[in-house]
């Protein structure tokens, strides 16, 4: 990648040099204003790199020294007149509640005209976007409803799974990707104080894919199966699914016989960082909880130290309203790689994540007591090219009430 | 001493003044309506205002009078009788209850201790299905729809309901039927580890008597002592229910009742041979109740049989009596899930109580009335139950589950449960009770002071011969729970010995009548190992009730009087067998969890600790009460008001005790699953020594119940012209329920891969203040000419309120994984683990929650036909109601009331 840029840069330099003899190149100043995302509190720019690429000549120019001015950051570049594509990337720190967190940001402006005409210099304003999803890893399927026993039609809850797929055209390492469940439910809307929803999601559990950085390569188009319990469930329940091929499983070690969990040595265990329940972990089988994958930007110790979130909320009980307190851990939206909101079709009250992450929702259950939900899954659509559709709108991106892809 | 001297002086005076007297007469003063002896009635001779004699325990008096003298007999609340002196019976008439008066409400007793008396007429008019229905008549009561499909326990002077941790109030209300107790001290009928509503809602262990089991048709009279009972009665904290059943008569009576949830059939027969002073009464009753008339699967049935014999003899020296009662009570709960709605799977709950009781009472009275010795009574009562709970349920596991089965401490392998099986859980209890009571009454002869000294002793034995919890631990009803079978017949019997003495004094002086009942009761538990603190404790319950009645005054043609009463007393309830000998706690810790796709190679190894959860420091629950009251009676209209306070800080409570337990965490990563030919050996497997904080439950004296309130009853005289009488009764109760010992809680969050390894110790866990104010206005009309009686009762609940007491969100102390106790300090609030010890209560949780006014109107009617042989009665509760919606936090709360009807037919031949 870097080599390619150097080549391009050299090529551009040579072109410029070769032209310089023919005509005089007029230079003009371009004032670049970087604006931080308006939804962030106490945001400060830690570092920024802006690259200008001349559309005609493909010449590259870098600008790095920005000064705080008003509510933005400003620098002026003097470049040959022409049309430029301006891309900016940077790193900002900001507060979520009382915690300071950091995120990578980027922004771009295409076809910016730089001329010397008139007295005023050209100006480009770039608004940084803190949603910084790595294009690539997506949640392809969530089988959260689990199956039922053939015959009695009673629930069998051990066979839930998620499929994560590399939707890019390059290799991605899934090491240290976290799988999280939302703390809040889509069928119960709460007024939260403080409300971090625009900046962060609140989770009820968080598990990490183990690895040293390159242990879990996922080739373009390949998937990872994350099972609640990696074993061939059809041996127990013919209605169920063979998950013995899962790469990872949720394993909750507990001395308590009531919370017994099987640990298949053939599937690596996810690393547990947090759960708000001492019991074994399950996905909410009605679909009121939502799920996401997250790139953690910190280690465990700073996570438990800094990402603790205590909130108040109003409960509207049948006999009145009272304020209650809850707690959990928050994950900045910018860390979230993919998110899927789930709901019960007739019980949807709100989305538990910012519309930046997912502006829609998908479902299996139509009503809260819908027993037909069992054995159904939500699966991401594919476009004509076979690529998974990812518009950050699960209503559009997912097919509800599908036969699980792993069932036979 | 002074009393004795005064009486001696008086005696001398009498001898002097009546030196010329000619006749010595002996009279007996009885209530005209009830024929009860009037104790302490004053006798004056001719125009002399001075009291010449007072009646004794039998209502008897002896005086010497001049020829042709008249005697004036006075008793507070009764019309003064002036009659020519004669030997024999003098009948005095109550000012409130005229002869033959029909009373359809509870009346405040004339005794010093605050109590409600419910007579046969009131029961006939109320049309109860079980004893629980009678609670409507007690101040603070309101008609409730009978919910016969779950046990009903008594609640006296209590607003709001506490949970099982505050059940000492009902456990500490003693029920005596014809002098014999219904002991529930050995009731251990609960499904151990039960988490399902079928089992939980029918568990009333350690909660006292299930009032559903008491049928009302054989009852003649009930007295519910809400205040301070005589020291004759013990093993109680909160109240006493004295039930007297019918004796004598020569009728066949039958009753058929049907209401919206049940039907009841009763037949009784009385046989009486008056000359031989012998009577036999037989009764049988059957009640069939469903949770909903259309639901045949969840129901309650009761079957009772009663045979009661009474015989009296008179000899020259003594009159004696003997009563023998034999009773059977069967009480059956059934709850079955419709297989059609349960995928064809079995899910049943059956509970049966079969109680056989024999009670013998013996009474002896000397015929010589000058004797100091007045009476000897002895009761020997015994009962044996055969109680069974059978729970059968088809279990289909949702995920892999294991069962620990080792009954011994140490390491063992757990069983992996099959995914589907039918669990059978049985609970067999055979509570046995033996109660022996002997007491005597002594009286110092006196013409001025009516006095009685009661001295007695009782001995109570409770034992359970049942096999307890019976189930196959490899097919458990509650998968994953660490329960084990338990044979309860091994538990030793609980013996309590009590003795008591009580003096009752009454004297009339110029400024009024003074009454005093003062006594003390000592009780002691025996047959306890010396490890129990209780084994060396004697509990002394002093109880005093005093009364002062101002002299009667005239209101027009009628008289009035005012009485002031006060009382205070201590009450003690010994722990039950379940409290003293709780089930062992099995703490099972998974040490090895080896999975292999081949089931035969899986291995789960467990470390088991068997913990004796007995609290050897457990004490008896004690309730201290005091009250003041007044009784104003004007022209037959009576108002009684009592203000009371009760405080019990040592109610029984089940509390969690956390301790660290060591176990090994085996590392199975070295096991090569493909080379195994059986489960892996653990002998050489590497392990990490780890520790976990685990709780077991222990009974403690950790619940406080504080009661305060005012009870009032106004009963008017029947207004002749409209045959109608007005009764107004009600109460204001304020009850506080809170924990009285520090309790432990462990946060459930998992940070990292381990549950927070700290346990918080909190001084306050909960505290609730409930209040209620109600008034029932009852107009009852009795038209003797039409043989018609009806009543309209407007039952107003002015408000109920509930408020939580603010509690600190911070622990006072905490326990770490090594079991060390540390003090909490504010900087720990930021520790990523310890911050979970901070509780999440907010100010708004302490808001007062008030439910405003509501009123139900109940209508009841009875009509007699065919020379009183047929008697038809009907009730309609909530025939009209005013239950407005109300707002809370901007939310409108609507309330709905549905009427409840019933109809019955009584035949008396």
- How far away is chain B from the Cα of A248, in angstroms, using its nearest Cα? 15
Beta carbons of B420 and A300 less than 8 Å apart: no
Q: Is A370 helix (H, G, I), strand (E, B) or coil?
A: coil
> A150 — contact with chain B (CB < 8 Å)?
no
Q: Compute, in degrees rounded to 10, the torsion defined by CA atoms B478, B483, B487, B492.
A: -130
User: Given the DSSP bridges, would you call strands A122-127 and A27-35 parallel, antiparallel or unpaired?
Assistant: parallel
Same domain, A275 and A144: yes
Judge whether A119 lies within some domain. Answer: yes
Interface residue A158 vs chain B (CB under 8 A): yes
Q: What is the pLDDT of residue B6?
A: 52
Mutate to test the interface with B, among A178, A244, A255 (most CBs of B within 10 A): A255
pLDDT beyond 80 at B241? yes
Would the CB atoms of B891 and A273 count as touching at under 8 Å? Answer: no
In this structure, the number of other CB atoms found within 10 A of the CB of residue B780 comes to 23
Q: Choose among A157, A259, A277: nearest Cβ to B398.
A: A157
Q: pLDDT band at B341, cuts 50/70/90?
A: confident
Which of B483, B748, B753 to probe the A interface (max A CBs under 10 A)?
Answer: B753
Q: Using alpha carbons only, what angle is made at residue A247 by residues A245 and A253, rounded to the nearest 5 degrees?
A: 110
Do A111 and A160 share a domain, yes or no? no
CB contact under 8 A, A255 and B663: yes
Please state, in angstroms and rounded to a whole number, the distance separating the CA atoms of residues B110 and B713: 13
Task: For B735-789, write each residue's pLDDT tens digit.
Answer: 999 999 999 999 999 998 889 999 999 998 899 999 999 999 999 998 888 899 9
Question: How far apart are the CA of B666 and the nearest CA of chain A, in angstroms?
Answer: 11
Are residue A167 and residue A105 in the same domain, yes or no? no
Do B692 and A304 count as a contact with CB atoms less than 8 A apart? Answer: no
Strand intervals (E) in B21-166: 23-31, 42-45, 53-54, 60-65, 70-74, 81-84, 88-92, 107-108, 115-119
Is position A132 within any domain?
Answer: no
**Residue appearing with tokens 């101002």:** B550
Minimal C-alpha gap between A212 and chain B (Å) = 19
- Give B581-608 as a DSSP string: SPPPEEEEEEEEEE--SSGGG-EEEEEE
Q: Is the distance from CB of B794 to CB of B744 less than 8 angstroms? A: no
pLDDT tens-digit profile of B871-909? 999 999 999 999 999 988 778 889 999 999 999 999 998
Domains of chain B and CATH, by start: 2-92 (2.60.40.1120), 115-550+562-908 (2.40.170.20)
- Residue A408 domain-assigned (yes or no): no
How many other β-carbons are positioned within 10 Å of the β-carbon of residue A293? 25
Q: What's the CA angle centered on B470, arms B467 and B474, to 5 degrees?
A: 150
Neighbours of A385 (CB within 10 A): 5
Q: Could you tell me the maximum CA-CA distance found in chain A, to the nearest angstrom?
A: 87
Query: What is d(CA B393, CA B405) in angstroms, rounded to the nearest whole number?
Result: 20
* CB contact at 8 A, A252 and A259: yes
List for chain A the helix, strand, coil content (%; round to 5): 10, 45, 45
Where in the sequence is the domain holding A353, given as residue range(s)?
Answer: 137-402
B889 and A320 within 8 Å at the Cβ level: the answer is: yes
Subunit contact A320:B849, Cβ cutoff 8 A: yes
Separation between Cα atoms, residue B89 and residue B41, nearest integer Å: 13
Q: What is the pLDDT of residues B705-746, one digit of tens each?
A: 999 999 999 999 888 888 899 999 999 999 999 999 999 999
ipTM of the prediction greater than 0.95, yes or no = no
User: Residue B370: pLDDT above 80?
Assistant: no
Chain A stretch 277-316, residues whose beta carbon is closer than 8 A to a beta carbon of chain B:
277-278, 280, 300, 304-305, 308, 312, 316
Residues A123 and A239 in one domain: no
Domain boundary among A83, A100, A127: A127
Q: Are residues A206 and A237 in the same domain?
A: yes
User: What's the per-residue H, E or C state across B364-400?
Assistant: EEECCCCCCEEEEEEEEEEEEECEEEEEEEEEECCCC
Count of other CB atoms within 10 angstroms of residue B285: 22
Q: Are residues A99 and A148 in the same domain?
A: no
For residue A146, which residues of chain B lie inside 8 Å, CB to CB?
Answer: 398
Across residues B657-675, what is the average pLDDT?
93
Radius of gyration of chain B (CA): 32
Is A154 in contact with B668 (Cβ distance < 8 A)? no
Contacts of A232 in chain B (CB under 8 A): 597
Tokens of B295: 């639901």
Pairing between strand A223-227 and A248-249? parallel
| Beta bridge partner(s), residue B688 | B665
CA–chain centroid gap for A267, Å, is 25
Rounded to whole angstroms, how far apart are CA atoms B218 and B211?
A: 15
Q: What is the pLDDT of residue B157?
A: 95
In chain A, how many domains are there? 2
Which residue, A66, A101, A127, sits at the end of a domain? Answer: A127
Domain identity same for A393 and A245: yes
pLDDT along chain A (408 residues), means of 10: 44 42 70 77 81 87 84 85 86 74 77 75 77 73 94 90 93 91 94 90 95 90 96 93 95 92 93 92 94 90 91 78 88 92 95 92 94 95 90 93 92
Question: Is residue A6, in this structure, part of any structural domain at all?
Answer: yes
- Minimum distance, in Å, between the CA of residue B339 and any CA atom of chain A: 11
Quick one: tokens of A263? 């640990």
Q: Assess whether A34 and A156 both reside in one domain.
A: no
B880 min Cα distance to partner chain A (Å): 24
Give the whole-angstrom CA distance, residue B449 versus residue B56: 9
Boundary (domain end) residue, out of A127, A162, A196: A127
Nearest to B597 among A146, A231, A260 (CB): A231
Q: What CATH number does residue A21 fall under?
A: 2.60.40
Judge whether A276 is closer than 8 Å to chain B, CB to CB. yes
Q: Which of A88-92, B29-33, B386-390 has the highest mean pLDDT?
A: B386-390
Interatomic CA distance for residues A49 and A130, integer angstroms: 15
Residue A396 belongs to some domain of the structure: yes
CA distance B637 to chain A (A): 42
Between A260, A304, A321, which is nearest B590 by CB? A260
**A191 plus A302 within the same structural domain:** yes
In angstroms, the CA B175 to CA B209 distance is 8
CA dist B45 and B286 (Å) reads 56
Question: DSSP assignment, residue B48?
Answer: -
Do A156 and B404 make contact, defined as CB atoms within 8 angstroms? Answer: no
> Are the C-beta atoms of residues B177 and B123 closer than 8 Å to each other?
no
Share of chain B above pLDDT 90, in %: 71
Band of residue B87 on the pLDDT scale cut at 50, 70, 90: confident
> Tokens standing for B338?
């419709």
**A262 vs B: CB within 8 A:** yes
Helix ranges, B197-338 (H):
197-200
Residues A119 and A143 in one domain: no
pTM: 0.86
Interface of A with B in 313-342 (CB under 8 A): 316, 318-327
> Rounded to the nearest 5°, which phi and psi values hold at B278?
-125, 135
Is A51 inside a domain boundary?
A: yes
Residues A362, A219 within the same domain: yes
Is A369 near chain B, with CB under 8 Å?
A: no
Q: Are residues A92 and A174 in the same domain?
A: no
Q: How confident is the model at residue B9 (pLDDT cuts 50, 70, 90)?
A: low
Among B751, B804, B834, most A C-beta atoms within 10 A, so best to mutate, is: B751
The residue of chain B with its CA nearest to that of A147 is: B398
Angle at A59 between CA A53 and CA A61, to 5 degrees: 65
Read off the pLDDT of residues B409-420 as tens digits, 9 standing for 90 and up. 999 999 999 999
Task: Please give the C-alpha separations between residue B867 and each of B104, B863, B906, in angstroms, as whole numbers.
Answer: 21, 11, 13
Q: Which of B55-69, B165-179, B243-257, B425-439 has the lowest mean pLDDT?
A: B55-69
């Amino acid at each position: 990648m870097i080599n390619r840029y150097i080549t391009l840069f050299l090529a551009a330099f040579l072109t410029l040099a070769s032209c310089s003899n023919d005509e005089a190149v007029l230079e003009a100043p371009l004032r670049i204003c970087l604006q931080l995302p308006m939804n962030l509190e106490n945001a400060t720019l830690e570092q920024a790199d802006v690259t200008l690429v001349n559309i005609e000549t493909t010449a590259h120019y870098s600008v790095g020294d920005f000064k705080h001015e008003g509510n933005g950051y400003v620098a002026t570049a003097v470049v040959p007149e022409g049309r430029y594509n301006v891309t900016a990337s940077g790193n900002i720190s900001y507060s979520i509640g009382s915690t300071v967190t950091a995120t990578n940001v980027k922004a771009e402006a295409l076809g910016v005209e730089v001329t010397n005409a008139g007295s005023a210099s050209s100006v480009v304003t770039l608004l940084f976007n803190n949603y910084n999803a790595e294009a690539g890893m997506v949640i392809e399927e969530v089988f959260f409803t689990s199956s039922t026993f053939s015959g009695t039609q009673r629930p069998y809850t051990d066979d839930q799974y998620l499929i994560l797929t590399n939707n890019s055209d390059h290799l991605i390492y899934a090491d240290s990707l976290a799988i999280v469940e939302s703390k809040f439910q889509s069928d119960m809307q709460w007024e939260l104080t403080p409300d971090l929803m625009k900046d962060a999601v609140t989770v009820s559990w968080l598990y990490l894919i183990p690895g040293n950085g390159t242990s879990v390569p996922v080739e373009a188009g390949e998937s990872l199966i994350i099972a609640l319990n990696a074993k061939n469930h059809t041996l127990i329940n013919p209605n169920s699914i063979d998950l013995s091929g899962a790469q990872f499983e949720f394993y909750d070690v507990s001395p308590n016989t009531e919370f017994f969990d099987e640990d298949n040595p053939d599937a690596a265990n996810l690393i547990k960082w947090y759960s708000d329940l001492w019991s074994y972990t399950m996905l909410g089988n009605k679909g009121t909880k939502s799920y996401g994958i997250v790139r953690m930007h910190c280690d465990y110790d700073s996570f438990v130290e800094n990402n603790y979130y205590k909130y108040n909320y109003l409960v509207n009980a049948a006999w009145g309203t009272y304020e209650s307190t809850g707690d959990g851990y928050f994950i900045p939206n910018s860390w979230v790689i993919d998110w899927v909101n789930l709901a019960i079709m007739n019980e949807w009250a709100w989305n538990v994540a910012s519309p930046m992450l997912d502006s829609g929702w998908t479902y299996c259950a139509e009503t809260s007591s819908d027993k037909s939900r069992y054995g159904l899954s939500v699966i991401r659509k594919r476009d004509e090219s076979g690529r998974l559709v990812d518009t950050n709108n699960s209503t559009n991106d997912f097919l509800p009430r599908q036969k699980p892809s792993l069932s036979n | 001493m002074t009393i004795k001297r005064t009486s001696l002086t008086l005696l001398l005076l009498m001898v002097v003044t009546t030196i010329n007297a000619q006749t010595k007469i002996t009279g007996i003063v009885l209530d005209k309506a009830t024929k009860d002896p009037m104790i302490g009635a004053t006798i004056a001779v001719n125009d002399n205002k001075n009291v010449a004699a007072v009646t004794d325990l039998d209502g008897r008096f002896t005086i010497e009078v001049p020829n042709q003298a008249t005697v004036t007999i006075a008793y507070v609340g009764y019309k003064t009788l002036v009659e020519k002196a004669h030997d024999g019976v003098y009948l005095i008439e109550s000012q409130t209850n005229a002869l033959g008066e029909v009373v359809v409400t509870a009346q405040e007793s004339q005794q010093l201790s605050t109590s409600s008396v419910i007579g046969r007429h009131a029961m006939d008019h109320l049309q109860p299905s079980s004893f629980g229905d009678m609670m409507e008549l007690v101040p603070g009561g309101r008609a409730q729809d009978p919910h016969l499909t779950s046990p009903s326990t008594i609640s006296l002077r209590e607003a709001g309901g506490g949970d099982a941790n505050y059940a000492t109030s009902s456990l500490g209300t003693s029920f005596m039927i014809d002098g014999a107790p219904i002991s529930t001290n050995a009731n251990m009928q609960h499904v151990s580890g039960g988490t399902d509503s079928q089992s939980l809602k029918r568990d009333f262990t350690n909660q006292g008597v299930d009032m559903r089991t008491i049928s009302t048709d054989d009852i003649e009279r009930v007295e519910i002592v809400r205040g301070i009972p005589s020291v004759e009665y013990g093993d109680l904290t909160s109240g006493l229910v004295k039930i007297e059943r019918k004796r004598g008569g020569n009728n066949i009576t039958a009753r058929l009742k049907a209401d919206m949830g049940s039907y009841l059939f009763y037949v009784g027969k009385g046989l009486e041979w008056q000359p031989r002073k012998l009577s036999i009464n037989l009764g049988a009753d059957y009640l069939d109740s469903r949770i909903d008339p259309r639901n045949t699967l969840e129901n309650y049935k009761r079957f009772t049989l009663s045979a009661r014999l009474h015989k009296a003899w008179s000899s020259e020296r003594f009159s004696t009596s003997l009563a023998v009662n034999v009773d059977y009570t069967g009480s059956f709960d059934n709850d079955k899930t419709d297989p059609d709605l349960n995928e064809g799977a079995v899910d049943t709950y059956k509970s049966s109580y079969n109680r056989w009781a024999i009670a013998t009472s013996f009474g002896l009275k000397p015929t010589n009335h000058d004797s100091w010795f007045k009476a000897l009574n002895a009761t020997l009562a015994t009962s044996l139950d055969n109680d069974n709970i059978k729970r059968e349920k088809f279990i289909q596991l949702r995920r892999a589950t294991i069962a620990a089965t080792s009954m011994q401490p140490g390491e063992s392998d757990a069983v992996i449960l099959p995914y589907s099986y039918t669990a059978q859980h049985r609970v067999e209890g055979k509570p046995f009770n033996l109660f022996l009571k002997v007491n005597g009454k002594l009286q110092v002869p006196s013409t001025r002071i009516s006095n009685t000294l009661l001295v007695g002793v009782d001995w109570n034995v409770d034992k359970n011969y049942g096999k307890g919890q019976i189930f196959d631990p490899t097919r458990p009803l509650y998968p994953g729970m660490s329960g084990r079978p338990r044979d309860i017949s091994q538990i030793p019997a609980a013996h309590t010995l009590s003795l008591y003495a009580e003096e009752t004094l009454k004297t009339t002086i110029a400024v009024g009548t003074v009454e005093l009942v003062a006594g003390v009761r000592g009780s002691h538990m025996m047959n306890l190992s010396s490890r129990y603190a209780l084994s060396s404790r004697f509990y002394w319950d002093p109880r005093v009730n005093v009364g002062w009645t101002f002299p009667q005054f005239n209101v027009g043609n009628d008289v009035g009087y005012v009485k002031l009463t006060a009382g205070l007393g201590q009450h003690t309830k010994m722990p039950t067998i379940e409290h003293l000998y709780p089930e062992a706690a099995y703490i099972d810790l998974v040490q090895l969890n080896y999975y292999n796709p081949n089931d035969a190679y899986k291995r789960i190894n467990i470390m088991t600790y068997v913990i004796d959860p007995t609290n050897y420091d457990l004490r008896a629950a004690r309730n201290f009460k005091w009250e003041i009251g007044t009784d104003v009676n004007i022209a037959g209209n009576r108002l009684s008001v009592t203000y009371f306070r009760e405080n019990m800080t040592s109610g029984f409570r089940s509390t969690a005790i956390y301790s660290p337990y060591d176990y090994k965490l085996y590392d199975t990563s070295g096991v090569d699953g493909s080379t195994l030919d059986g489960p892996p050996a653990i002998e050489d497997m590497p392990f990490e020594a780890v520790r976990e904080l685990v709780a077991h439950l222990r009974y403690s004296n950790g619940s406080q119940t504080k009661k305060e309130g005012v009870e009032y009853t106004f009963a008017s005289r029947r207004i002749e012209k409209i045959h109608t009488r007005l009764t107004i009764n009600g109460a204001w109760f304020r009850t506080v329920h809170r924990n009285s010992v520090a309790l432990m809680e462990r946060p459930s969050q998992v940070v990292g891969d381990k549950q927070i390894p700290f346990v918080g110790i909190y001084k306050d866990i909960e505290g609730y203040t409930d209040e209620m104010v109600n008034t029932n206005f009852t107009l009852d009309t009795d038209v003797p000419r039409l043989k018609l009686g009806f009543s309209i009762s407007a039952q107003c609940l002015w408000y109920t309120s509930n408020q939580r007491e603010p509690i600190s969100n911070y622990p006072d102390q905490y326990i770490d994984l090594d079991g060390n106790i540390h003090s909490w300090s504010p900087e720990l609030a930021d520790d990523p683990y310890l911050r979970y010890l901070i509780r999440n209560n907010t100010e708004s949780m302490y808001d007062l929650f008030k439910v405003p006014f509501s009123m139900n109107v109940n209508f009841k009617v009875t009509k007699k036909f065919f020379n009183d042989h047929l008697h038809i009665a009907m009730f309609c509760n909530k025939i009209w109601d005013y239950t407005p919606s109300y707002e809370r936090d901007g939310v409108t709360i609507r309330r709905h009331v549905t009427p409840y009807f019933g109809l019955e037919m009584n035949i008396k031949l």
